[in-house]
Amino acid sequence: MKLHEFYEASKDLEAYSPGETPEELAIRLGKRRSEVVKLDANENLFLPHDKMQEILREVAEETDPRLYPSGESRRIREALGLYLGVSPEQIVLGAGGDQLIVLLLRALLRAGDELLAIDPTFSVYGLTARTMGVGYRTANLGKGFSLNVEDVLSAVSPKTRILVLCSPNNPTGNQFARDEVLRLAERFRGLVVVDEAYVEYADYSLAEEVAGIDNMLILRTFSKAFGLAGLRLGYAVSNAEFAGVLNDRYQMPYPVSSISLKAGLVMLERISDVRASVEAAKRERAWLIDQLNSMEGVTAYASDTNFVLFSLARDYEEVYRGLLKRGVIIRKIGSIPEVAHGCLRVTLAPREKLERFLVALKEALR
């Protein structure tokens, strides 16, 4: 392909936009960075910043950046095996969940194949499929953001090779029933990818069950509950044979940095701190949902994640802009099937930040 053909073909691809940064917004508003509240990316803000910096200093002192990672991958797979109740041979490490999504699609899909996902869901699946030139199909969620097995299966075509279920789902926030997910794996002939990025905030994980399921892979990440979003560390769990092929034949050499691997290992050693932060987020989640639902024209939805989706009876774009003017960044979602009004999504945070968000929201709704 010539470069001009590449540029022309790229015009049809949708770009992923993380939105305006806190630094950019602060400059635009003439505020200090500390006056901007960032609640748009579902990071774990309950782990203290100073303690996370201590971990970075600790692993940096132990790392020789001239050398490639050595035994860190083995050690963290062993630690993850203990954490999850699986064999280390079932684990594939990657530079965040996004890199593992690319790995799976590159390994399993060819021109003419299709990926099927529920709608709405994490946008990177569709973006990645289109970038790689494979088909992307969707099946709508049912009432209450429920998963309807028959509706999903009816959307399967002869070209569908991968079915993706984010459970808990982003942006709706709900975890699907275990038996429905397993039924889909039994009846779908391709690979079922269950993205459990937010599962630490939910009721169950399927990680312990995939050893005996030929066509299921679980995606997990250190970016959410473990507080390492900036270090890009993710992992997949499947049966040992599938994981072995991905590790040996498809994954790039040294896909994750030594710093990230060592930081992940430290966080697994401090799992009690992670779990305490999750419990704190759950308490704030219940409080925030109550606060939002007490506001006229606002409907907040139940969540099994570290964020809350809510809809507005008025123009959500206008309210979103009003929040930005007041130094509060949340995520603009827009229209969702089965929801009459436009939606926004807010990341959970310690009470002081949530109170600043609620004050700004009330002002933006006036």
* HEC per residue, 292-351: HHCCCCEEECCCCCCEEEEEECCCHHHHHHHHHHCCEECEEEECCCCCCCCEEEEECCCH
- 37-96: per-residue pLDDT in tens? 999 999 999 999 999 999 999 999 999 999 999 999 999 999 999 999 999 999 999 999
- Per-residue pLDDT, averaged over 188-202, amounts to 98
The confidence score (pLDDT) of residue 9 equals 82
The confidence score (pLDDT) of residue 15 equals 78
**pLDDT of 17 over the 80 cut:** no
Q: What is the DSSP letter of 226?
A: T
Residue range 17-42+272-364, CATH number: 3.90.1150.10
- 127-158: per-residue pLDDT in tens? 999 999 999 999 999 889 999 999 999 999 99
Q: What percentage of the chain exceeds 70 in pLDDT?
A: 100
d(CA 345, CA 357): 12
**pLDDT of 259 over the 90 cut:** yes
Task: Lowest mean pLDDT of 7-11, 12-16, 248-252, 362-366, name the range.
Answer: 12-16
The confidence score (pLDDT) of residue 5 equals 84
Strands 343-347 and 307-312: antiparallel
Domain residue extents for the chain: 17-42+272-364, 61-269
**pLDDT of 334 over the 80 cut:** yes
The confidence score (pLDDT) of residue 14 equals 80
One DSSP character per residue, 253-286 reads SS-S-HHHHHHHHHHHHTHHHHHHHHHHHHHHHH
Q: Which amino acid is at 21?
A: T
Q: What is the DSSP letter of 249?
A: I
Cis before residue 255, ω within 30 degrees of 0? no
In total, the chain counts a number of residues equal to: 366
> Which helix H or strand E contains 116, and what residues bound it?
strand 114-119
- 216-242: per-residue pLDDT in tens? 999 999 999 999 999 999 999 999 999
- 94-123: per-residue pLDDT in tens? 999 999 999 999 999 999 999 999 999 999
The confidence score (pLDDT) of residue 19 equals 81
Class of domain 61-269: alpha beta
The confidence score (pLDDT) of residue 302 equals 98
The confidence score (pLDDT) of residue 247 equals 97
Q: What is the DSSP letter of 176?
A: P
